[in-house]
Structures are given as structure tokens and as C-alpha cells.
Structure 1
């Protein structure tokens, strides 16, 4: 998700720019991760076999195994073209500003099996930027080499390598922010949060080695480096969002996953540490993310599906330089920030669903880094209802889908306040947290 709110707070663009950012946030929140029809054609399985809702995003244990196996499972009936597309039309009504209706996104997916041991997922995304113009960019990438059907001490073992551009996107449980493609928006945020200012998402490249032992123990270790700003520009990203230069970067993931057939449970921990120069010619900040996540999924007979997940990520910061405020005040040299996301999803017959998400971004008081009040805390919610009629064994088609969703995005706090959140002077029109709210209706077609 774009860090549009930070740019608004610091650069004070027009309200139209802010609402355009909210529209993009709503689009990503309601249509973030999808069932890819190319996978359904490759495996001979319906989209609903891999996803709790026929259009996604939540993965079933079957879908998790497909991802762990490097997207290489097949029905054995010959080569399938690993290409899919998606079109999304969205009507957005912000609390302040004009309503809009646009073809907001067009996507091309290169996704599927290349060999028995090699497969992947690549998304090329074209986003509406206004005035009938679109920006095309390379979005999520996850290329895998996997060795399957191994044994260790008589237990099943899967080993693989993932090359990807968003730490956590490759995670099979899909609860981490970059895998769920949703995280708390605000003026501060962790490295693992796609809504953070100068996020790492899609602007880095890395590789990790992972393993699944006895179908329950998952471990992964890897490293990342940021793409040069020239490369980010060629890939469709504004260099103002550059995550900076990364050094000594390490990624670690460990999780316990238990498939109980009608239920699924997982508990995991994640860590990401790096030295970051932002700007690239400046001193290095030492940043360490430490987090944990819990997921429970009730599948039953697939008529009523309930999933609950909670992710809590803490980031410890040791700044490489001290900042001075206008009154000679020195900013703290160390800080700890938190991102928390709790999501509850109910799906009926893998067709109708409702998603409730509560997001919290918090940090210490810092009058220099977080103007105008020195309080970076933000609280927001997403409420989505959706209908996905296809992608099931008994539907009109199993290898294409339609999703119609209504999403309400709301803030209850921003910059630590509900009223006058950007510190408008007397006589100027203030902005309240509720003014950032927006409602959208979207229709997405995947084929």
C-alpha cells in the first residue's frame, strides 16, 4: 500500500491527491491477493480448493502446500500457458472530496510451473493515475526452486529457494503484512509493513532458503538488498519512495503449522534486521523487526469458513544521527514502534463473505520527527463484504472468477488525534481523522 498519508502530512498536497491515495488503498485492501486462474488450469483444481473464498485472498492448507511446492503441482495433462489477467473497476466515495469511477487497475500474471522443480509468480500492474493515464510497474515477484518428496528420519521434507522482492510475501501462511498485502497506515511503520513510509515492498530483491519438515515445522532464512533508484524508476516506482540503501540484512522465519483437515492452526515468529541509509548518502540507522503471528481457520465442510489472524511486529531503531528541532530540541536517538493487525473473516459457501480488520500503528513521542504534535499513533479499520460467484466445482466456471466488493475504510486516530490532525492554523480548514474515511465498490474480473 502507498504511504500517501505521510506524503500528505509533510508535503501538504491538495485534497484531491489525498483522496486518490485513499482510493488506491481501498483498491488494494479489497482486492489485494487473488486466486490466479492460471494455477487452476495447471492443477485441474478449482480456485476454491486453494482459497477459503473462491477469489481469495486467504489460503487453505491445500493452497499453502501448492505455494510451498513452488507453484509446480500439475494435473499431469500437459503444458498449460502460465498467464492470467485481471481488470478492476472501482467507484470511490471519500468523506471529503469528489466521488470517482474508474478502471483502476489492470494486471498481468505470469504464474505457474516451468519444470517439475521450478515455478513462480510475477505480477505486472497498471494503476490508474488520473486523466485517463496509467502507471505500469513490476509488482510482486516470487520465483522458486523446490526439492520435494525428500525424507529425513522417516519424515517428509520439502526444501526450496525463493527469490522475491517483498520480505514476507513468500510466506505460505499468508498472515504477514506483505503476504496479506495490508498493514497499518500512518506516519511511522515497520520494515515488514507495506504501508510504511519508504516501504521495502517491491523495491528490494532477495533470496531465502526454506524448509517444511513433517508437514508442520516451517523455517526460512534469507537476505535482501534494495534496488538502485534508477532501477526502481525503470520498474515504475517513484524514487521519492526509495527505501534507502540496505546493508547486513537478514530475514528469519519460523512457524508451526497444523492441518487438522476441518481446521488449521499456526503460530509463528519473524525477524528482519538491517542497516539502512536514508537518504543513501546519509548515516546508517540500525533497524530490527521482531514479530509474531497467530492464525486459526475453521473449514468444516466448506459451507461456513471462519478465519482469525493476529500479527504484532515491533521495530527497534537506533538512529545514526541526531535531529535538531526548530527550538534546539534534540530528537531521541533510539525508538521502538509497533504495527498490529487483527483480521476476522467469515465466508459462506466460499461465495459470500465479510472481512473485519483492525489496524494500529504506534510509536514514542518525538516532537522533531512527528510534526505537528510529536505523536505518530494511528488507528484504522477496514470492513469489506464481497460476492465471488465462480471458481468452485459446482459453479459456471472453475478457472475464472468475478468479485464484487464493498469496502469501508475509516480512521479513528491519526497523528495521535481525531481533530485537526495536520495542525491547521487558526482560520484554516482543519482535517479530522474521519475526513480520511472512504467507501468504495469494486468489480474485479480474473481470467
Structure 2
């Protein structure tokens, strides 16, 4: 495809990126505290999360996740069920503003036995004009053996089955766990905002272990679901991530809980052969990244968390299309970087700022019209959570009111006329993708 194509074809080619930007607005920060866990453990949501509505986990919350969601207060069986309703007012830089009931979620989350637990989220979302789509969102089922001793050190060993590599990560810094990834024209497989993301469209398993409370390791594998299954689970088959084979996933991290502070440093790797579309030659893809997280917890009055994630993807393409006498490159790369800083006051008031960067190698055939897929955005979010703490009106239900700004400085390799519209046509600049969203979520 090249910039010499007719305008109607260029519009068809670029339309998915506009949809991607819209979806990103609702994907970020979608992980929340689950009241079912509070009922099960007898602990408030604020014990597991830096903010009483999430998403960032405290060391206590990380241990609860590693223990397979099985910890309990011993006061009998609790129903592992919770729900969430979200309404939003979205004001884009260009286009019509909307006010709607944007999402309703059901969670099956909690303990099955001493060694079995899980997290299942089913989402019904408003896709426009009051039409709703129900889909299976996040899945994380675990079998865990706790209180083991290896070389005299405490050890936890578990098996996890999930539909997003990295969602089960205890630190919750990786994109699929944090629900925060840069808007990407051609992002990495581990970025939930990539056009053909693996997020919620694969199924896999891994074995993990925590040794001496500090050393975490995980190894596993994933396969994409059949396109018919992706459709039945509520996802557009056009978002198919392709066929995966020979897939390996690896995660290693050092975590240090200093009671009033927490620090972690980790590496992550994913290697696979991907056919996209599924009858195409295979691309060899390897993702390799690292992440750093620091939390100042203090006495929980002032909490600061800083996280940085850097993931590089190397690609050996199985085909090299030729357009206008120019051949696509046989190799390429993509890099996704996220830097986020969150300040939380009394676990009720919070400010989060994130800088999101996605870059890739130059290729005029694969990335028309400018030959670069680079995108840069900033997110600013303010929110208030009055409940979910031991001293609040209730610790078993929650409310979150948030205002979120997205500001784009670069998209599709440019800041101006980002889709390469010809003279006389409607021009879209990067800043035209800016948007403000005011939302209110209730969980119970």
C-alpha cells in the first residue's frame, strides 16, 4: 500500500487506527479492586491496593494474587461474585461528545478451595447508539501450593491459566496487568493497545514460583483461540492476532518488601511464530523487556508509585510485499515504553500521570504514508474514591469518580496530517485525537 492509492482505500486503511484510539480511552486503568475479595478476606480494598479502588497493588495485594486468590478470614464460605457499573461523559477534541452507561461488569472472583482460586471478568460495553456487546474479558485460574520449604526458604509454587500473557504478573506493571500501554500503530505483542494484540484472545498456561519472598519466576506457553471462538467470546474477528506456534513466555523479577517501601526489577520475554492472516507465511517475533517499580507506602497517608516498562520486539518477516517497485524490509522492530507516576492521598484522592511512547523501524511499504509508526501520548487522571477503607462508610463496596485527559503529540509517524490526506480533504492532526473523559464507577 502506498500514498498513491485512491483516497477511499487510504481511508479504509486508516480507519482501524481511529477505532484503536477510541478503544484506548476505555482500556486504560480498567483493573479495579474487587469487593468479593474484601468479603472473602475480611480486609478492605485499600489493604490490597495503593488506592482504595485500584489498580496498583500493595505488597499485601501481590501476595494475595500469588496465593491464587485463596486467602480467607476463616469465617465461612463467601459468594465469589461482584459487579461494577460505569457511566461516562466523553468529550473528544474532534467529534460529538457522548454521555452514556458505558460498561457493566460481572466478576467471578475468589477462592474455590485452599489451593484453587481465580478471577473471571465478563464485560457488557456500550459500543454506540445504545448497542451493547458482551465479552469475556480477563481470565486467571490458579492452582497453588503454599507454605513450602526449599533449602530452608519459604516457597510458593503455582500453575496459572489465563488469556493474556503477563496479566497474572504479581507486580502488575506489565501492560496486560496494568491496563496501560502506549497507542500503537505497530506495537509489540505485549502491548494491549496494539492493533492485533494478544490481550484476551489467547489461552495459555504457566508454572510460577516465589522463592524466599523476593525472587519470582514464571515460564509458560500460549496459543491463539480459533477465530470462531474469538467471535463467540465477543471480539471482532478483524482483531484476530493471527495463528501462533512455538510460543514461549518467560518472566523473572526481584521484589523487595521493605514495609514502608517496595521495589522491584524484572525482565519479560515472549517468543513465537505468528501467521497474520492465518494462511500467511510465519513471522518470527521475539519480545524482550524490562520493568522497574518503586512504591513509597509510608503510613498509607501519602503513597507514591513510579513504574517504567520498556519492551523491544524484533521481527523476521515471512514475506516482503512490493508496492510501487519498493520492497518491504525483511526485518523490523517495535518498541513500547510507559512511564507512570501516581500520587495517592489517604488512599482516596489520586493523581496519575503517564508518558506513553511507541516507536518502530522505518518501512515505507508497511507504514504508509510516512514510513514510520511512531506515536506519543500523555495521560493525566484525577480520581476520588470515598469508600473501600477500614474507616470509611463501607469497606465492602466502592465508588470511583475520575477525570482523564489524553493528549497526543504524535501518531502514525507525524504530528500534522497524520493520515496523509490530500490537499482539499479533511486533515487530522495528532492533537485532534485528544479527549477528556469523566466517569463514575460503582462496584459491589
Question: Is the alpha carbon distance of 1:234 and 1:377 closer, same or farther for their aligned partners in structure 2, counting shifts above 3 Å?
Answer: same
Determine the structure 2 residue equivalent to 1:381: 378
Contact kept? 1:22, 1:438, Cα under 8 Å = no
Contact kept? 2:20, 2:195, Cα under 8 Å = no
Determine the structure 2 residue equivalent to 1:34: 32
* Cα distance in 1 between the residues matched to 2:13 and 2:413: 19
How far is the alpha carbon of 1:13 from its aligned partner?
Answer: 4.3
Contact kept? 1:27, 1:442, Cα under 8 Å = no
Kindly report which structure 2 residues correspond to 1:14-413, keeping only aligned pairs within 5 A, or say none.
Answer: 18=18, 22-29=21-28, 31-325=29-323, 327-413=324-410
Contact kept? 2:122, 2:135, Cα under 8 Å = yes
1:181-212 deviations in whole A, cap 9, x for unaligned?
11111211001000011110000000000000
How far is the alpha carbon of 1:133 from its aligned partner?
Answer: 1.2
Contact kept? 1:127, 1:134, Cα under 8 Å = yes
Determine the structure 1 residue equivalent to 2:425: 428
* Cα distance in 1 between the residues matched to 2:365 and 2:126: 35
* Cα distance in 1 between the residues matched to 2:128 and 2:416: 29
How far is the alpha carbon of 1:337 from its aligned partner?
Answer: 1.1
* Cα distance in 2 between the residues matched to 1:137 and 1:89: 18
Contact kept? 2:157, 2:210, Cα under 8 Å = yes
How far is the alpha carbon of 1:11 from its aligned partner?
Answer: 3.3
1:18-46 deviations in whole A, cap 9, x for unaligned?
4x7645422332x4110000000000000
Name the SS of the counterpart of 1:130 in structure 2. Answer: coil
Contact kept? 1:50, 1:59, Cα under 8 Å = yes
Contact kept? 1:40, 1:46, Cα under 8 Å = yes
Unmatched 5+ stretches in structure 1: 1-6
* Cα distance in 2 between the residues matched to 1:232 and 1:28: 18
Name the SS of the counterpart of 2:381 in structure 1. Answer: strand
Determine the structure 2 residue equivalent to 1:4: none
* Cα distance in 1 between the residues matched to 2:97 and 2:372: 31
How far is the alpha carbon of 1:10 from its aligned partner?
Answer: 4.8
Contact kept? 1:205, 1:224, Cα under 8 Å = yes
After the TM superposition, which segments of 4 or more aligned residues of structure 1 sit over 4 Å from their partners?
7-10, 20-23
Contact kept? 2:53, 2:399, Cα under 8 Å = yes
Determine the structure 1 residue equivalent to 2:412: 415
* Cα distance in 1 between the residues matched to 2:26 and 2:385: 16
Name the SS of the counterpart of 1:139 in structure 2. Answer: strand
State the superposition RMSD in angstroms.
1.4
Unmatched 5+ stretches in structure 2: 1-8
Number of equivalenced pairs: 436
How far is the alpha carbon of 1:432 from its aligned partner?
Answer: 0.3
Contact kept? 1:380, 1:411, Cα under 8 Å = yes
* Cα distance in 1 between the residues matched to 2:243 and 2:134: 24
* Cα distance in 1 between the residues matched to 2:161 and 2:224: 14
How far is the alpha carbon of 1:12 from its aligned partner?
Answer: 4.5
* Cα distance in 1 between the residues matched to 2:11 and 2:364: 14
1:228-254 deviations in whole A, cap 9, x for unaligned?
000011100110000111000000000
